[in-house]
């Protein structure tokens, strides 16, 4: 699965063994990401310390790179990736006062290897691939990408979260009325390496007491749209996808879907709200049964060995994107710190929930990220 982003999408990989998180029921959209202590991979700079107090030109530039090189996943159209990133590249170059280059890789692993080998200084490679990059290339997250609800008309909205959800869904009238009812059903995941189409929802099912490998008949549909259409066309009884995919397919007329009245995804929903929408949904429409734990968005990460003054200057530029409508239109995103209410010691700590998934599912990050 790939969640549609301007620069890249989330493939995975993973690393690190942490204590398994004790999860909330999969039927409720959690209010926060999993509470987590910093890991050995967490870098020393805290999110608060990363915020600069002076413009880049006023700080000590000792050890700054002669050229700042940023690695991005090229996807199916590396030229479009470079074109979309050009306004931001030019701004960084102007503000930092050094040449800035954008490089693309043919895979997330290729971009990670480029940082490990010293060929790039920064990257955006998807949340799970970032976790691998911390281990393999010494990456350090500076800020988290925020993606607008309306990709066709992207504008800054301070209420847009830095995470998203996978949802469990079915066709109303199927006899499946809750996540607990998924035991014994045939179920459509997206792809083995998909965060919101497989790894996160599988983790949620296990935490809800259901073993998808032994208590369900599961298939991989290959993409998010096909997973949804598999349920819509009664090929499977239920499935998992990222929440926004259901709203998008409904807006395109491909499915009939009972969404929430505000039409927004990545919003915390109570069990009562979920049940109310389910009860009001007519038979034959797709409807949400429950939510995974929140999945953090892709971070902008740099080589952790770069000087603190350089990291601070880059962080300042990232956080200024939200104030530039033209950049938001080009990038279709802006950046922010993780939610302040989590009181995280580092931006990297925001991704510990993915490390928990890795441990619980015993995933081989390198194999998935290849």
Residue 89, domain CATH:
3.40.190.10
Out of 238, 273, 291, a domain closes at 291
Domain presence at residue 67: yes
The percentage of the chain sitting over the pLDDT mark of 70, rounded to a whole number, equals: 83
256 lies in the same domain as 197: yes
Q: Torsions phi, psi of 362, nearest 5?
A: 50, 50
Would the pLDDT of 26 be above 50?
no
DSSP state of 198: I
302 lies in the same domain as 154: yes
68 lies in the same domain as 140: yes
Would the pLDDT of 76 be above 90?
no
With DSSP H G I counted as helix, E B as strand and the rest as coil, what are the percentages for the chain, rounded to 5?
40, 15, 45
Out of 291, 320, 340, a domain closes at 291
pLDDT at residue 208 in the model: 94
Specify whether the CB–CB gap between 85 and 7 falls below 8 A: yes
Q: List the structure tokens of 289.
A: 């049964």
Domain presence at residue 13: no
173 lies in the same domain as 283: yes
59 lies in the same domain as 82: yes
In which band, very low, low, confident or very high, does the pLDDT at 30 lie, cut at 50, 70 and 90? very low
Least confidently predicted of 45-54, 83-92, 100-109, 340-349: 45-54
Give 148's contacts (C-beta < 8 A, 6+ positions apart).
154, 155, 156, 157, 160, 328, 332, 333
Domain presence at residue 15: no
- The parent domain of residue 55 ranges over 47-158+298-368
Q: Which of 264, 269, 324, 332 is nearest to 297 (CA)?
A: 332
Taking the CA atoms of the chain, what radius of gyration do you get in angstroms?
Answer: 20
- The total number of structural domains that make up the chain: 2
As a whole number, mean pLDDT of residues 69-74 equals 93
The pTM of the whole model exceeds 0.85: no
pLDDT at residue 201 in the model: 95
CA dist 125 and 220 (Å) reads 23
Out of 257, 273, 291, a domain closes at 291
pLDDT at residue 216 in the model: 98
Domain presence at residue 18: no
Domain presence at residue 281: yes
Would the pLDDT of 333 be above 50?
yes
Report the chain's mean pLDDT, rounded to a whole number: 84
Would the pLDDT of 38 be above 50?
no
Would the pLDDT of 132 be above 50?
yes
In which band, very low, low, confident or very high, does the pLDDT at 367 lie, cut at 50, 70 and 90? low
90 lies in the same domain as 195: no
As a whole number, mean pLDDT of residues 21-46 equals 37
Domain presence at residue 55: yes
143 lies in the same domain as 232: no
Bridge partners of 197, per DSSP, are none
81 lies in the same domain as 176: no
Domain presence at residue 105: yes
Number of H helices, E strands in the chain: 13, 14
283 lies in the same domain as 327: no
Domain presence at residue 121: yes
147 lies in the same domain as 72: yes
Q: What is the pLDDT of residues 196-253, one digit of tens each?
A: 899 999 999 999 999 999 999 999 998 899 999 999 999 999 999 999 999 999 999 9
Q: What is the pLDDT of residues 80-125, one digit of tens each?
A: 999 999 999 999 999 999 999 999 998 888 999 999 999 999 999 8
171 lies in the same domain as 287: yes
202 lies in the same domain as 248: yes
């Amino acid at each position: 699965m790939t969640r549609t982003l301007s620069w890249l999408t989330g493939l995975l990989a993973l690393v690190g063994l942490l204590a398994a998180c004790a999860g909330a029921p999969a039927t409720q959209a959690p209010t926060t990401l999993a509470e987590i202590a910093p890991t050995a991979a967490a870098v020393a700079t805290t999110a608060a310390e990363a915020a600069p107090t002076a413009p880049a030109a006023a700080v000590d530039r000792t050890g700054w790179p002669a050229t700042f090189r940023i690695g991005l996943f090229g996807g199916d159209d590396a030229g479009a990736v470079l074109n979309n990133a050009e306004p931001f590249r030019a701004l960084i170059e102007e503000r930092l006062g050094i040449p800035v280059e954008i490089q693309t890789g043919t895979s997330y692993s290729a971009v990670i290897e480029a940082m490990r080998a010293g060929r790039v200084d920064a990257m955006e490679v998807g949340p799970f691939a970032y976790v691998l990059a911390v281990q393999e290339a010494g990456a350090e997250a500076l800020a988290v990408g925020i993606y607008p609800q309306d990709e066709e008309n992207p504008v800054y909205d301070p209420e847009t979260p830095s995470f998203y959800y996978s949802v469990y869904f079915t066709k109303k009238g199927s006899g499946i009325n809750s996540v607990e009812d998924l035991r014994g059903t045939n179920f459509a995941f997206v792809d083995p390496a998909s965060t919101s189409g497989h790894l996160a929802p599988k983790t949620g099912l296990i935490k809800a007491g259901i073993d998808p490998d032994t208590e369900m008949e599961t298939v991989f549909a290959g993409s998010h749209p096909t997973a949804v259409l598999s349920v819509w066309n009664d090929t499977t009884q239920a499935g998992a996808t990222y929440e926004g995919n259901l709203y998008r397919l409904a807006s395109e007329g491909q499915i009939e879907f009972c969404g929430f009245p505000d039409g927004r995804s990545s919003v915390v929903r109570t069990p009562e709200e979920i049940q109310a929408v389910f009860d009001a949904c007519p038979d034959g429409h797709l409807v949400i049964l429950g939510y995974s734990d929140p999945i953090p968005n892709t971070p902008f990460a740099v080589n952790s060995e770069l000087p603190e003054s350089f990291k601070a200057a880059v962080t300042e530029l990232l956080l200024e994107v939200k104030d530039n409508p033209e950049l938001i239109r080009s990038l279709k995103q802006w950046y922010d710190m993780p939610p302040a209410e989590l009181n995280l010691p580092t931006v990297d700590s925001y991704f510990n929930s993915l490390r928990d998934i890795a441990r619980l599912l015993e995933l081989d990050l390198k194999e998935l990220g290849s």
